[in-house]
A and B are shown apart, each in its own frame.
Chain A
Amino acid sequence: MSSYLPEEVVVNILSHLPPKSLLRFRCVSKTWLALIGTPDFVSKNLINNSILNAKSQHPHPPFLLVKAREKFNFPSPFLGLGIASSSNGILCLHDHIQGDVYLWNPTSSLRLRLLPRPIYCPHTKSFLYGAGYGFGFDYMADDFKVVRFLDPLNTSFMADTDFVDVKLEVYNSLGPGLGKQLDTPFDLNMFNNFALYVRTKVYDNGFFYWWANPDKVYDERIVSFDCRNEVFRMTPLPDRSVIGHYREVCRSLMVLNGFVAMSVYPIRRKKKVSFSIWVLLEFGVEESWTKLFRIGHYFDFGRPLCFCKNGELFMENREGQLVLYDPFTQTTKNLQLSTRSSGVQAQLTRILS
């Protein structure tokens, strides 16, 4: 039944396979092994292509750089407005003093929705405040979703408290104002102390991802939330002996072509900093963490922000300017845009095409 297929046809077939299948099929024959290659990021082979190349309809939507400034197009007062997250060109803003949440389209200045303020919990006689937010787009429902972790006021700052009342809610931006409380398979307290990491949450293509801190049961890990099916999953990080202890290295959460990725670099800054990029080829499988590349001794390096396309990386240099780094040519391009403004984090977001 088998007919000989020309090599270019075999390459065409293999180019549609995910990394997991390709890594397995390296064992088919020597020819296939040579075609597929190894995940090292710099070779032009099938496995790297599978990791790097976007498969979506609009592979390279434009980016929008949003900076928080004094003069927001909002009616005041906004006491402590910050950018919680962004998705498809819509920003989720969070007033961390008043507790309000806004969805905002920066290109139209239109405020989309306001979530209810913190809720009084009669059981603990305290107000529940949003301790963490996730924000994304549910393609099936054609609607944005906001996930809010509710935490009794101030307890997240008190190290010795047992937080028993942390809750998680999901809101549809078009739906009724009441959030739906979800049961989670783990202790939500692990989402506290977000500040340990540079970039702690990211949204991509229907999934939220968060860092989660170590607790009694688990070491550090990444938690994903499927926006459509409202299901949580988690994956441990690579072993500390491999990537370094969290007290010594910064990790920044990113997404590369649908895969969870992270950059790892030392907290203690020397003159020259090198960092490595890891990618999780299959969510839920710790062994599938793969070190893709290492950027050696980049002298002006501030921090990595997010992947642009085909492995190109947006970074911030030490002057706070936006830089595009191409790992293949190891060259950088200064985009002449300052990411800093009033000490508030800027956000790069993809615009819905």
Chain B
Amino acid sequence: MSNQSESPNPTSSSNKITLKTSDNEVFEVEEAVAMKFCTVKQYFDDENNNNVTSGTSTTLIPLPNVESHPLAILITYCKKHLEIKANNADNKKEMEIDMEHYEREFLKNVMPQELTELILAANYLNFKEALDFFCRAVASAIQNKSVEYVRKFFGLESDFKPGEEEKLREEFAWSFEGVDED
């Protein structure tokens, strides 16, 4: 399943870390992958400091705020991210092109509604690259949408007094032209 043959430091990536989600699924991931999740890294470092004696092998880290569905997607994304980085270690531009290509393909299999779930997971895990990517994806998904669509998407309700919203709409009326159908 994992493809670590092209990892930059194959020696350090042999360790596995076990993550346990809120719905009690257990994921065994390469250390290099888990270390991209800053929350996990923090936990892992703290654990290591606390018991220096235990060498390596399995550490179980509970993730009470993350469900298995988004975590599985994040792990796949993270692996690919590391792989692309390793394959283009000396060519930043190539790396960006590969990453862009992967991200485009990735989004084809993700519903816009799934993105909020992924964002919450990435935010909790403090996985910055993924968080930024999903935020960009949401931005491009809502860019041409109506105010009503966006409210529904974010679960928000208008809290303006009657007349206030109309006034705001009039102020920049041109920005309401050419909006996609919901």
Residues of A within 8 A of B78 (CB): none
Q: Contacting B117 at CB < 8 Å: which of A3, A12, A21, A33? A: A3
| Interface 1/0 per residue, A11-46 and B, CB below 8 Å | 011111111110111111110110000000000000
- A7 CB → nearest B CB, Å: 11
Chain A: interface residue count, which band? 20 to 34
Contact assessment for B174 and A287 in the assembled complex, using a CB-CB cutoff below 8 Å: yes
Annotate B137-163 by CB proximity to A: 1 below 8 A, 0 otherwise: 011101110110011111111111000
Q: Does B120 sit within 8 A of A, measured CB to CB?
A: yes
Q: Does B182 contact A (CB under 8 A)?
A: no
B151/A28 in contact, CB under 8 A: yes
The answer to whether the Cβ of A112 comes within 8 Å of any Cβ in the partner chain is no
The count of residues in chain B whose C-beta lies closer than 8 Å to any C-beta of chain A is 39
B residues near A33, Cβ cutoff 8 Å: 168
Q: Please determine whether B143 and A21 come into contact, CB atoms closer than 8 angstroms.
A: yes
Question: Which of A15, A24, A25 has the most CB atoms of chain B within a 10 A radius of its CB?
Answer: A24
Say which residue of B120, B138, B142, B173 sits within 8 Å of A287 (CB atoms): B173
Complex: how many Å from CA A282 to CA B156?
28
Q: Is the CB of A27 within 8 A of B174?
A: no
Residues of B with C-beta under 8 A to A332 = none
Q: Is the CB of A24 within 8 A of B123?
A: no
B150 touching A3, Cβ below 8 Å: no
A10 within 8 A of B: yes
- CB–CB A10/B154 < 8 A: yes
Closest partner residue, chain A, to B177 (CB atom): A285
Kindly state whether residue A2 has any CB partner on chain B within 8 Å: yes
Contacts of A288 in B (CB 8 A): 174-175
- Indicate which residue in B131, B154, B172, B179 contacts A12 across the interface (CB closer than 8 Å): B131
Say yes or no: A1 contacts B113, CB within 8 Å: yes
Most chain A CB within a 10 A radius of its CB, from B116, B132, B157: B116
Contact in complex: A21, B135 (CB < 8 Å): no
Q: Which of A3, A26, A28 has the most CB of B within 10 A?
A: A28
Report if B101 contacts A (CB, 8 A).
no
Q: Smallest CB-CB separation from A32: which chain B residue?
A: B156
Let me know if A9 is at the binding interface, CB within 8 A: yes
Q: Does B108 contact A (CB under 8 A)?
A: no
- CA of A32 to CA of B174, assembled, Å: 19
Q: Which residues on A sit within 8 Å (CB–CB) of B156?
A: 28-29, 32
B65 to chain A, nearest CB (A): 11
The 7 closest A-B pairs by CB, nearest first: A2-B155, A16-B139, A23-B175, A287-B174, A23-B172, A12-B135, A24-B175
